[in-house]
Structure 1
């Protein structure tokens, strides 16, 4: 049985905002990810590569799938090569033909389709950045683990990683460590 992990790593502000980390969506407080350079992001990149190498597959919502596909398909290098070859599953009712290599569209009910996928695959099924899909999966107790990279910035507004649908779900801290000099990497498992 597969293990569903919200990660990739999952980047959040100190107050839980995940919206527009790179500033490309037009959110007035977007671009908070790029405020950290040097050792912080270099070490973050190493974690992203390690997670991609250990993943059995990626599971994404359509918007995240299109974002990552556009970003990584034309690139080369260790992380790009791994992401381009990794099996990818995209939950979508509107995507007709996936353009990224090794991609499969899951068209039915997301909870049913992901439950089947979890039964079919072994290893980690990583859900990167697809927080809306993640919320649905958390609500239906399909997520096993959450890995957060917390950026030391408070935005005060914006779309949060957890919302009211995620409430009341107990978690257990598995690991905490520092990335570079400013970022916190936190790993939690859901207590089912």
Structure 2
């Protein structure tokens, strides 16, 4: 059975909107503000994360963003993303052009639940904030990984909001790492609704700090 793992680049105040500066919201690419060593460490983190994924799960807008760029890029990360099976949640997309892409046109909960049964390993969700909100609401996220940039944006869409997560959600911190000198990588395990009082002993066993 597969696990749904959400990976997000996030500012210190929780903003995830337009980290590359290509959508017109942000003034520039967040990575441009990093020291060269931190940027290289972030790139290594992303490649390592993608290398552990068995499939990608994307919303339509995020799919279109990646599909417009990665088929024309080279390098280890592009090779990995281009080669992975990709599943796109969309009621309007009918002919995905990106290699190995499949449209999930039915109900999100049913389609993603079936996908978890189909894929053996980590199903990675990149960007796709609206999809993440739906997955969280229906307890379909197993793990949340945040690459925290040392920036305060002040405004912008956040990884969670009141509409996306109407009720409190319990998460357990299972890993923390420093990435380069300025970034942090946090891994949280999602606790299903109604099971928030479960003990955290199993999580503590594998926790590492760096």
Shorter-chain TM-score range: over 0.9
> Size of the alignment, in residue pairs?
190
Equivalence map 1:88-107=2 (5 Å):
88-107=86-105
TM-score (norm 2): 0.87
Residue 134 (structure 2) aligns with: 136
Equivalence map 1:29-68=2 (5 Å):
29=27, 31-68=29-66
Higher Rg: 2
TM-score (norm 1): 0.95
Deviation at 1:73, TM superposition (A): 0.5
Query: Is the partner of 2:56 in helix, strand or coil?
Result: strand
C-alpha contact (below 8 Å) 2:5/2:122 kept by paired residues: yes
Deviation at 1:42, TM superposition (A): 0.8
Question: RMSD of the TM alignment (CA)?
Answer: 1.2
Structure 2 portions without partners, runs of 5+: 193-210
Measure, in 2, the Cα distance between the counterparts of 1:34 and 1:140: 36
Measure, in 2, the Cα distance between the counterparts of 1:153 and 1:72: 26
Candidates 106, 113, 132, aligned match of 1:115: 113
Residue 14 (structure 2) aligns with: 16
Matched, 1:152 2:128: no
C-alpha contact (below 8 Å) 2:54/2:120 kept by paired residues: yes
Deviation at 1:45, TM superposition (A): 1.1
Measure, in 2, the Cα distance between the counterparts of 1:24 and 1:53: 25
Which structure ranks higher in relative contact order (CA pairs < 8 Å, sequence separation ≥ 6)?
1
Deviation at 1:5, TM superposition (A): 0.2
C-alpha contact (below 8 Å) 2:18/2:26 kept by paired residues: no
Residue 169 (structure 1) aligns with: 169
Structure 1 portions without partners, runs of 5+: none
The structure whose residues are more often strand, as a share, is 1
In the TM superposition, structure 1's runs of 4+ consecutive aligned residues that sit over 2 Å from their partners are 28-34
Residue 208 (structure 2) aligns with: none
Alpha carbons of structure 1 residues 170 and 30: separation in structure 2 relative to 1, 3 Å: farther
Measure, in 2, the Cα distance between the counterparts of 1:77 and 1:25: 24
Residue 183 (structure 2) aligns with: 183
Measure, in 2, the Cα distance between the counterparts of 1:126 and 1:48: 12
